[in-house]
Amino acid sequence: MDYQTKMKAKRLLNQPFITYLLIGITTIVFLGMEVSGGSENTMVLLNWGAMSKRMIVEYHEYWRFFTPMFLHIGWMHIILNMVTLYYVGAQVENIYGHWRYLAIYLLSGVSGNLLSFSLGASNGISAGASTAVFGLFGAFIILGRHFKNNPAVSFMVQRYATFIGINLLFNLFSSSVDILGHIGGLVGGLLAATFLAIPKRSEEFNIHERIISGMIFVFILVVCFFLGFKNYV
């Protein structure tokens, strides 16, 4: 393999292809929902795997902790989330690497849906990539601890932290926004990014902190799971 071919291969591998893949899958699913009767139709949402406490408790459809992050309710919902994923996801993927990034995304989405399941309304239905996207914000905030002398990273961390605060504040009393999912995704992202660490710099992450973060993450998921059944009425 000559030098130019190697450089082309390297540039290709450096592309945020996981972000592109996630956007592609989510968009295809959304179009499928639209064709099936509309993404805002309750039955369509349930049939495609939206978050539903009732369906999980009564019918043991546990895949609903995973599938909602690929579903969206209306065009504005998916456009906002996919634009955010495009910009934030590419940055996080570039730093954490493709597979760690994918793990953070999926784990954040699941943790957000589990918190929503544990404390949310029994008859509620929710969907959206926001749970996973908030996890990416959390992963970026973790970078601030390890790149304190990098002005660009510090600026982005402050920017995202401000956005998170404003978003949570404005959506605190909104019945149309699953704020529990956002909070759960954020916490999941903070913990997942800590125990997964950054490639080639993982030695800078305290091993005890990584282990404890992983244990806390699992503990929270288990508690949320059983709490959801207990709180179901």
The domains of the chain, with CATH numbers, are: 3-231 (1.20.1540.10)
Give how far the C-alpha of residue 91 lies from the chain's centroid of Cα atoms, to the nearest Å: 14
Residue 62's nearest CA partner among 233, 225, 208, 232 is: 225
pLDDT value for 167: 87
**Per-residue pLDDT for 3 more than 90?**
no
Query: With left for phi above 0 and alpha for psi between -120 and 50, is residue 7 left, alpha or beta?
Result: alpha
**Per-residue pLDDT for 206 more than 90?**
no
**Per-residue pLDDT for 31 more than 90?**
yes
Q: Which of 7-11, 18-22, 44-48, 98-102 has the lowest mean pLDDT?
A: 7-11
Assign 1 to helix, strand or coil.
coil
Structure tokens that stand for 137 in this block:
């914000």
**Per-residue pLDDT for 146 more than 90?**
no
pLDDT in tens, 215-226: 999 999 999 999
- Round the average pLDDT of the chain to a whole number and report it: 91
Q: Using CA of residue 94, residue 95, residue 98, residue 104, what is the dihedral sign?
A: negative
Position 177 confidence tier, pLDDT thresholds 50, 70, 90: confident
Contact 57, 229 (CB under 8 A): yes
CA distance 63 to 170: 30
- Mean pLDDT, range 86-96, rounded to an integer: 94
Position 60 confidence tier, pLDDT thresholds 50, 70, 90: very high
pLDDT value for 175: 73
Residue 105's nearest CA partner among 49, 186, 174, 48 is: 186
Structure tokens that stand for 90 in this block:
């590419």
Position 172 confidence tier, pLDDT thresholds 50, 70, 90: confident
What are the φ and ψ backbone dihedral angles of 51, each rounded to 5 degrees? -70, 120
pLDDT in tens, 66-87: 999 999 999 999 999 999 999 9
> Which sequence positions are flagged as catalytic?
130, 182
pLDDT value for 59: 97
Q: Quote the pTM value.
A: 0.93
Contact 38, 90 (CB under 8 A): no
Structure tokens that stand for 4 in this block:
């130019």
Ranges of H-type helices in the chain: 3-13, 17-36, 42-48, 53-59, 75-84, 90-96, 98-119, 130-146, 151-170, 179-196, 207-231
- Mean pLDDT, range 147-168, rounded to an integer: 87
